[in-house]
């Protein structure tokens, strides 16, 4: 009779306990992270994926979805709708850019899973990204511009051109380059 091998994992305190088998989604996420780490992505990028993909997987766990083949497009739509309505840390709804980042990270994970042979609903990968409105440019008052120029180079004679705001009107018609100061 062949001997049976049991897998054992060691807990942080040094105690041994029988290893529990991870659900396929969690194991897939761990493999995804290991592959990304092996591709020498920065620590910040790994934390970004953790911050975007792990909450999705926790939500799926609560919903009772533990396998890739049980995950369908309706789960992802429902998660995205809840994410869009949920208040963030500030108490306001999440910014459109945050929703877009979550969408991109989740789709990156699911594209990786499909390449690795996990069965996924192809309709998920066809979901359109959340729309992100263009941000309005920051408008500065002339007093703020003077402060910026005086802080940048207080010893320069070019700072004198900031005393006359007339240089700003022609400069606004072309690109304002650092150091040009209207000349």
Q: Which of 33, 38, 62, 35 is nearest to 49 (CA)?
A: 33
- Predicted confidence band at 173 (pLDDT cuts at 50, 70, 90)? very low
Residues 59 and 111 in one domain: yes
Residues 145 and 87 in one domain: no
Residue 145: give the domain boundaries: 136-183
Q: Which of 110, 113, 84, 109 is nearest to 97 (CA)?
A: 84
Q: In this predicted structure, what is the pLDDT of residue 142?
A: 87
Mean pLDDT over each residue of the chain, to the nearest integer: 80
**CB neighbours (10 Å) of residue 109?**
22
> Quick check: is 96 in a domain?
yes
Q: For the segment 109-154, what is each residue's pLDDT rounded down to a tens digit?
A: 999 999 999 998 999 999 999 898 888 888 888 888 888 887 776 5
Contact between 104 and 129 (Cβ < 8 Å): yes
Contact between 182 and 167 (Cβ < 8 Å): yes
Residues 91 and 143 in one domain: no
Whole-prediction pTM = 0.64
> Quick check: is 130 in a domain?
no
- CA 33 to each of CA 39, 105, 128: distance values in angstroms, whole numbers, following the listed order: 10, 12, 25
Residues 72 and 153 in one domain: no
Tokens for 41, please give them: 């992505």
Structural domain tally of the chain? 2
Residues 176 and 114 in one domain: no
- Predicted confidence band at 159 (pLDDT cuts at 50, 70, 90)? very low
Q: In this predicted structure, what is the pLDDT of residue 5?
A: 54
C-alpha span between 66 and 115 (Å, rounded): 19
> Quick check: is 85 in a domain?
yes
Residues 64 and 29 in one domain: yes
Residues 106 and 27 in one domain: yes
> Quick check: is 89 in a domain?
yes
């Amino acid at each position: 009779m062949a001997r049976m091998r049991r897998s054992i994992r060691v807990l942080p305190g040094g105690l041994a306990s029988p290893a529990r088998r991870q659900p396929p989604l969690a194991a897939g996420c761990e493999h995804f992270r290991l592959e990304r780490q092996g591709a020498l992505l920065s620590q910040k990028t790994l934390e970004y994926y953790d911050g975007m993909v792990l909450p999705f997987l926790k939500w799926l766990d609560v919903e009772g979805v533990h396998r890739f083949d049980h995950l369908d497009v309706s789960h992802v739509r429902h998660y995205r709708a809840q994410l869009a309505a949920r208040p963030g840390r500030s108490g306001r709804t999440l910014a459109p850019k945050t929703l877009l980042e979550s969408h991109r990270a989740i789709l990156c994970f699911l594209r990786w899973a499909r390449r690795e042979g996990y069965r996924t609903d192809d309709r998920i990968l066809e979901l359109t990204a959340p729309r992100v409105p263009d941000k309005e440019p920051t408008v500065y008052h002339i007093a703020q511009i003077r402060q910026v120029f005086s802080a940048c180079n207080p010893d320069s004679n070019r700072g004198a051109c900031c005393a006359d705001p007339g240089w700003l009107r022609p400069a606004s018609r072309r690109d304002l380059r650092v150091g040009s100061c209207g000349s």
